[in-house]
Structures are given as structure tokens and as C-alpha cells.
Structure 1
């Protein structure tokens, strides 16, 4: 008793119980949505328990009739037994179907909700997690929650009802038999204690290891070309073996305790069963009970033991649920992006789309969560029909500026707004809601698997083939697409497979142009193109009659002479370069 009190004190001191309570309340927000499903599942389970109990009692009567040669009641009792056996099968199948249907529905809805919350989570906070870890939390942990919501409380009720009803029948017919039937309960409770102490830690380690393995496999398969090019095949095989060894050792460590507990529980179960047999034989031999009553007792003693074991098993299940809830809470309770300006931005877009929109950012200050200070008093502006360039050494903040423009990052100080009108005096503050006004071509290959047309229609589902071809022409991509046998219906493999880096970049630019957003952001988006093609793409954008504002980041100054304005990111600020400085950069390149 004293050790239990010490254990509770330890958990309280570490905040474990308090943490589990908070996680339980978080699960409740989903559980209350599906109370009807839980009630249905519980009712079906209780119906199955009732049918099973009645079947046991009919079986007792049938055996008594046979051993007592009461042929007059044999046919009716036998028919009743068959009827309830069929009913038991039907209820079991109905319960299984309902459970599967509801579980799939609940699982899909919870995953959809978690997915939506992940997508609106603060971007910088989310990047602290490996994508493999995020996928594992979204898939495995969310499924664990959905299974728990449907099963835990209903099973608690069902197993409790099964235990109480079976115990009541046993006590009703022979109270002494209940003593033997309940012999294993104290031992079951005792043996669950060492498992519970290790269950939470094991589940946490298991979830972390699963995420690590998933992340390793994801990165390895995504970078097979690099692994082959550097001849790292043996290195990656060995890394996988080491990860698998760590996982196996972790699982076996827990399995040893589970195996020992299982053996001891089985021994106790044998002792209880044979004690019941012995006591039943004695009671029948002494004439205190009938042979049918003894067989019923033996059946119900198994039900009692199974119910206790099932109820005990709900405790580790609850621990597993709270761990999954905690892992999901880590993600969905991070700062969320604010989309409260959606209505205002839509109205602003409707009013000013025809004339075009620009942007202005004043005195921005930004420091990453890791303490890296990027900007102090940085100012940038860009307006319709302009191409504005951001130049500077790698790592100085060009991509960070685009992330600030897209509100993926939030500045610690300064102002940023979208502007329109002749004097640019009609404004709306930049926020996640203003992303609908941008098209963005990030660094690297960002094409998805599917056809070229499907890739482009991701940003504009209603786009016609003619609109797609026009965007491809502007991006200088039509010249190689029209030569393909299937044209715009040609297949793009994962990560742009089947196309060169330069071709994939032009497809990405075409996708951005197809959207016809007021502001276009190109982040080193022409780095894989030759200089002539790069200049041609930018000239096409500039000569397009659509009132587009274009901001590009580049390492290559060869296209700066066609830009309206060039900002050099220096000393955490954005300095406008004059023509002499631009010419010098071009000469020195």
C-alpha cells in the first residue's frame, strides 16, 4: 500500500497524472462529437453480452434435461438454444460491421481535422519537426485516438456489465462458486502494475522510433539518386540495420516483461480453472448442484476471468491514448495562423484586381526562433508591371524576405501591406489571408506526380487547355511540351522525374503564371535556365498585359538590367542599387 502511495506521489511530482488529465480532456473534445456512435456500439455490445449469458443458462437447462431424461422439454429447449446461438452470431456480426463502419468514418474525420489544423499551424514552428515524424503523428496517433474514442468507454461499460451479470448468475445459483471464480482477480491486478510502470515509457519510445524509421525511409527513397551518385548504398543499408536493431532491442525489452507476465497469468488461469472444475465436481457429487449448473459455472468463470483481464487491459490502452493525444497536441496546439482577414482580402481583390496590386514593407525586423537575426529596418516596395530583384550572397535573407512577404514568417517589428490605386494609398495588411494574392515559385523542384495539365490545374482547377498552353508559352515551356506525344497530358513523375531541372523550373513558372495572381514571387526560379532563356522568361512576364507585380531573387546579375528596381540585401537591410552599381555587378559576374 505504501509503495502505491509513493508511486502516485512520484507521478504527481513529475506532473504525469496532471499531463494525462489534460490529454484526456483533449481527447474528450473529439469523443463528444461521436457519442451516438459510442452509444450504438455499447448497445450492440450489451446485447451480445445478454444473448451470450442467456445462451449459457439455456445450455445449463439442456444438459439438465438430457441427464435427467426429461424428453418432454428437450425439443423446446434445444430450439431455444439454436435460436439464441443464431442470435449471438447475428449480433456479433452486426456489432463487427457497425464497429468497422463507425471506426472508418471517425478515423477519416479525425485525420481530416488534424490535417487541417497542421496546415494552418505556424510554419516556422512546424519546421522543427521532421516530416516523417509529422506523418507518423497524423496517421498512427490519429488512428489510435479514433479507435480509442469508439472503443474505450463502450468497452468499459460492456466488460463491466459482462462481469457483473456473470457474477450475479454465479452468486444466484451457488455463492461458494464465486469465490473460486474470482481467485485470479487480485493476481491480475498485481501483475498489471509492473507493466503499467513501463507502458508509458515504452509507448513513447516506440512512437519516436517509428517516426525515426519512417523519416529515414522517406528521405532515403526521395534521394536515391544522391545515394547512388555518392556510392552511399552500403552506408545507408548499415544505417537502416542499426535503426532496426535499436527498434528490435526496444521491443524485445518490453516483450520480456510481457512474456513473463503472460506465463504467470496463464498459470493462475489454469489454477482458477481446475479449482473451479474440482469444486464443481465436488458440488455435483454431493448433490448440491446439477451437472448442467456445473457446466454453466465453468463457462461463466471463464467469462469472469476474461472480463477482469479485459478491464485491466483498458488501463494500458488509456495510457497509449494519452500518449498519442500528447504527441498530436504538440503539433495542433502550436501557434495557429490568423485567417480572420479573409473577407477583407477578398473584397480588396475584387475591387483592385483589374488595375493590379503591389506591396510595401517598412522597417521590418526579423529574428528566427533559433536566435539568428536576419533583418533590421528592412524596406522593400514593388508595384504592378514592375520586376523587382533581390540580390545578395547566399544566406543573407533573400528567401527569408519572400517568406515574410507570404506571411509564412511574422516580423517582430515593422509594417507590411498590399497596396493598390494610383497613389498606392488603398491598402490591406499582409497576413496569411493575403496569400491568395500571390503566386510563388520556390527553389528546387516542386512538381507533383501526375500529368502536366493536372500539375498546373492544382492552382486553377477550372483552367482550360488553351489557358494552360498560354501559360506554358509565357514560361518558355511550350517549345518542349508540344514535341511530347501526349502534350500537356504527358506524365510527370515524382519530384519532376522525366524532365530536366530547367524544364521542371519552367513548368513551375507556368503553373504560377496560370493562376494569374496579382503578385508573382520567383525564388531562384530561373537558376537552372541558361541566361538567354532566363531573360526571355522575365521579358515575357514584363510584356504580359496582365497587371502583375514580379519579385525575383537571384544570384546571377545578368538579368538585372531588365528589372525596374534592384535591392541588395546587406547588413540586414535592403539597399536600392543605382545603375552604376548594377552595371558593376554585371561586369564582375
Structure 2
């Protein structure tokens, strides 16, 4: 399977430029939720200021104790308690608010990304494995949504605390401030050197996570096959191999992180030791009080830790930018163009009910591989006609249906319908709402039979649902099920046989009351008698509807007025059926 991959740039400038692009993309969401972000920042800064006030209060409280000043002790103790309680309160408010807003932001972004994926051109989105898409929707969207509310507030609150601690130290002892900042140059140099490797590791770990999701999803979807062929053991071995690759990548990043963190910790320890030595010296010489000494030690630690935290926001930004890039890769795929003015249903309803003529004229098509699938193909289907497409598997029958549906576009030729007033409407994504489709395989969704049927006819009454089921030869078994129309269908039609699932899918298509009905091997799981009965019911109830069958069954041909053979990418033979 081919997949769009983002290659890590070798130059830091190019890499930073791409990170800026990704942050700009996220800024659209930040602007959307700016009120929540600003309030979160406001509460965070207030909490930070309360913390600084508590540090100053503790300094004066210790001085009051050592200098025997009871009145000052009571005042500073009250300030210390009040600032501490307010800080706890602000933290609680932030945590509660962040949980609520984060969930809302996550759900909004998830819905936005989901909708953009669904609206992307089918051929573009088909390049991605469904497991990879799920991983991007879950893991990457989670990372982005958390950063939208967390990264900027963290940056601002840490900056405020850093600057506050720095100004207080500068006020009391500039040399102490200078010593506390000694680790800054080392931290900046290390961060710049390791930025590229951080990004590469993040990309590899996200890709490894996607591979695990892809493999697991495919295994669960095909568990029946795995059991039937006794492949569970071999697939478990494959999972171990994939997990080992992910483990190797994760441990390599862990080793990298441990080494950098250890180096930073050693630098921080040296700076803290020097700060303590300087404070002891100043206290020994009588330049500062015990309270000031305590303040120095506390603020120097704050200064060092806040600067380190600010620098550590860089890998967080790298991780977020990597996830943003992966989300951007799917949200910026070309979108299907659906124009209201191109809709077939803009034609008067009565005219559509009288039927249309469908035609393909000299069309050609190739998928991304470049190999021609269809070359100079032409066909026509008159109103009310039943037409069959026959040919070996892979000959292009399903591709023809995708072209009619507007899922893909012919590179050459014309595809359209002609109404009884001779109006020609080109077939594209915009005309899809007037085409009913029953694809190969099980296409039912988890939910009740009624919910599956109403997907194409939300306003249909129960009588209409029953009529459609009768046309699809499905009502007899549906009414015998527990709950009838309310019978719950599991994933991939669990609870029904393949033939029953096909008949419900046909009933769903019938309910759309479309002038064009496409059935791609839609009766493959039915006996010939039932398949013929369904076709006869459709002909009787919808005499003006076009029906195009992609099939390998001879019984279907007897119901068709025209048969086209698709072979080697061409419609090479057309003949009347023996009907």
C-alpha cells in the first residue's frame, strides 16, 4: 500500500520552517477557542503570582521569627496562607476547566478532521490504510487538541514565573540571579542540537503506532479467516515483530532522552550547588538574612526549573507539530467538488420519475499506478432498461460503477444522463444523490434493521420500509427476527447470514427511489430463484428506473435487455440477452 510520507529535513532551517507551517495550521483552532485559551492563561498567571507572593511571604515570615517580630509574623503568615489557598483554588479551577474544554476541543477537532476525511476525493483517501487513519484521528488529534489549550498557557505561565523569580532575585542580589541563569546557555545549545533528532524520533514513533493499529484492525476484521486457516499463531508472531520495531524505536528515543535529561540534571545540580554556596557565603558575611537565604534558594530553583520547563516545551512543540503534520496530510487532501447547480435532482421530480437515459462515451481511466484500467469505453442504457456488465474479475466492471457514482473521474470522454426533455447532466459527485448503489460484500452498519434502511430514506414510514423489504424478498425473515425491524445487527452484519444482509442492502437501495440503481455482485450470496424474484420486483415497482448489474451469474442475464462484456479494459462486445 502506498502512503504519503513526510520526510524529515536535514537542515534545521527547513525543519523549523515546516514546524512554523504546522503551528500556523494549529493557530486556526487556537483563534477559534481564543476565549477559553485567554481565560486559562489569566487563571494560570494569577496562580503563578500567588505562588511568588507566597515565596516573598515565607521570606518575611522567617525573618520575623529570627528577629522576634510577632506582629510581622502574624501578618506574613496570613499572607502566606491566603496566597497558598488562592494558588490551590486557581489550580483546581484550571484543572476542572481544562478537563471540560479539552474534551470539547478534542471532539470538535475530531469531528472536523473526520468530516474532511469523509469529504476528500475517494481515490486520495484510498491511499491511506484505515488503521492509519484511525491512529491519526485518535492519537494525533488528541496530541493536537491538548496542545491547543496547554502549550500557550504553559508557555506564558512559565514565562511569568521565570521573569518574576528573575526580577525578585535581581532586586535582592544580582549575582545570585546571574548564577541561577548559568544553566541557560547550556540548555539552549543542547536543545538546538537535539531538535532535529527529536522530530525524527517523533515521526518514527507515530509511524510505528500506526503500523500496530493497522495490523490489529485487519486482524480483527478477518478473525474468521485467521481461525479457518489456523493463522493465529503466525499473526501473533507478526505482531511481536511489529511491536519489537516499535519497542526499538521507543527505547532509542528513551536512551536519547535519558542522556539529555541526565546532562541537564548535572548542569542544574552544579548551578544549584553554586547558588547554595553563594547564599551561605552571603549569609555568613551578614549581607542577607535567613529569610532572604530561603528565598534565594527557592527562587534559584524556580528560575532553573522554569527555564528548563520552557526549553522542554520545545520537544512538546516538536511532538505536537509532528502530529499536526500527520493530521494535515489527511485534512488537506483534495475535496470532492459538489455543486448544487450540478445536481441531477434539480431537474423537476416528475421528470426524473419518468426516467433517464445513461451513457458513457469514449471514456478512459487509470488509477494512480498509471496502468490503464479502461480505454475508449462506450455504453448506453435507456430508461427502464436492465443492463448487465460481465467479464473476468479485475476487468474494470467495478471501476465503471465508480465512474458513474462520481467516486473517480474519467481522464477522457463523457459520462452523463439524458432526461426526457433531452437535458444532459454530466455524472459526477454532485449527481450521486440520485443513484442507488449496492456494492460487493457486507455493507450493513451496526444498529437496527430500521436504522440501516432509513439511511437512504429518513422520512419513510414503516409501510414503505416493509414494501422495500418485500421487494428485496427480505420481509419474511425480518418479521420472524426478535423485534422485527428493531432487530439489532452487529458489526459487519453479525446476526444475519450473508444472503440476508445482501437483501437488506438491496432494500436500502430501493428505498432511495433513484432513477439509476447500481448492483455490484449484489445477489452473489442468493440462490438464483431469489435473485430473479428481486429483479422482477424492481422492474415491476420501478418501471422507469435503470438497473446496471455487475455480475458473473447467468440467471441475471436472462432479466437484462442488454449485456456488455468488459475485458482488457474495453467494452469489446455488446449483444442482446436471451430474455
1:520 matched residue in structure 2: 517
Aligned partners of 1:358 and 1:519 also within 8 Å:
no
- Using the TM superposition, name which of 378-387 and 492-501 deviates more: 378-387
1:542 matched residue in structure 2: 539
Shift of 1:368: 1.3
Aligned partners of 1:356 and 1:547 also within 8 Å:
yes
Shift of 1:399: 0.3
1:305 matched residue in structure 2: 304
2:112 matched residue in structure 1: 113
2:480 matched residue in structure 1: 483
- Using the TM superposition, name which of 168-177 and 155-164 deviates more: 155-164
Shift of 1:70: 0.8
Counterparts in 2 of 1:449-460, with a 5 A limit? 449-460=446-457
Residue 558 of structure 1, aligned match among 555, 558, 562:
555
1:574 matched residue in structure 2: 571
Number of corresponding residues? 571
- Using the TM superposition, name which of 28-37 and 314-323 deviates more: 28-37
1:172 matched residue in structure 2: 171
2:331 matched residue in structure 1: 332
Would the alpha carbon gap of residues 371 and 545 (structure 1) be closer, same or farther in structure 2, given more than 3 Å must change?
A: closer
Per-residue deviation, residues 279-335 of structure 1 (Å, max 9, x unmatched): 222222221111111111111112111211111112112222222222222222222
Q: Distance in 2 between matches of 1:346 and 1:538?
A: 25
**Residue aligned with 2:558, SS:** helix
- Using the TM superposition, name which of 22-31 and 435-444 deviates more: 22-31
Cα RMSD between the aligned structures? 2.0
Counterparts in 2 of 1:25-174, with a 5 A limit? 25-174=24-173
Counterparts in 2 of 1:199-214, with a 5 A limit? 199-214=198-213
Shift of 1:376: 2.0
| Runs of 5+ consecutive residues of structure 1 not aligned to the other structure | 1-8
Shift of 1:342: 5.5
**Residue aligned with 1:393, SS:** coil
Per-residue deviation, residues 23-79 of structure 1 (Å, max 9, x unmatched): 333333333322222222221221111111111111111111112111122223222
Per-residue deviation, residues 247-276 of structure 1 (Å, max 9, x unmatched): 111111111121122223223333332332
Q: Distance in 2 between matches of 1:384 and 1:139?
A: 47
Q: Distance in 2 between matches of 1:400 and 1:126?
A: 16
Would the alpha carbon gap of residues 546 and 141 (structure 1) be closer, same or farther in structure 2, given more than 3 Å must change?
A: farther
Aligned partners of 1:565 and 1:576 also within 8 Å:
no
Aligned partners of 1:195 and 1:257 also within 8 Å:
no
Q: Distance in 2 between matches of 1:104 and 1:356?
A: 49
Would the alpha carbon gap of residues 536 and 344 (structure 1) be closer, same or farther in structure 2, given more than 3 Å must change?
A: closer
Per-residue deviation, residues 158-193 of structure 1 (Å, max 9, x unmatched): 222221111000110111211232232233223334
**Residue aligned with 2:128, SS:** coil
2:11 matched residue in structure 1: 11
Aligned partners of 1:133 and 1:214 also within 8 Å:
yes
Q: Distance in 1 between matches of 2:205 and 2:508?
A: 41
Aligned partners of 1:363 and 1:379 also within 8 Å:
yes
Aligned partners of 1:349 and 1:437 also within 8 Å:
no
Query: What TM-score, normalized to structure 2?
Result: 0.94
Counterparts in 2 of 1:363-512, with a 5 A limit? 363-421=362-420, 425-512=422-509
2:227 matched residue in structure 1: 228
Residue 315 (structure 1) aligned with residue 318 (structure 2): no
Q: Distance in 1 between matches of 2:176 and 2:188?
A: 21
Aligned partners of 1:438 and 1:520 also within 8 Å:
yes
Q: Distance in 2 between matches of 1:181 and 1:570?
A: 78
Q: Distance in 1 between matches of 2:260 and 2:564?
A: 70
**Residue aligned with 1:482, SS:** helix
Counterparts in 2 of 1:244-283, with a 5 A limit? 244-283=243-282
Would the alpha carbon gap of residues 175 and 117 (structure 1) be closer, same or farther in structure 2, given more than 3 Å must change?
A: same
2:3 matched residue in structure 1: none
Q: Distance in 1 between matches of 2:124 and 2:482?
A: 45
Query: What TM-score, normalized to structure 1?
Result: 0.92
Aligned partners of 2:345 and 2:434 also within 8 Å:
no
Q: Distance in 2 between matches of 1:43 and 1:342?
A: 49
Q: Distance in 2 between matches of 1:410 and 1:10?
A: 38
- Using the TM superposition, name which of 29-38 and 405-414 deviates more: 29-38
- Using the TM superposition, name which of 215-224 and 279-288 deviates more: 279-288
**Residue aligned with 1:562, SS:** coil
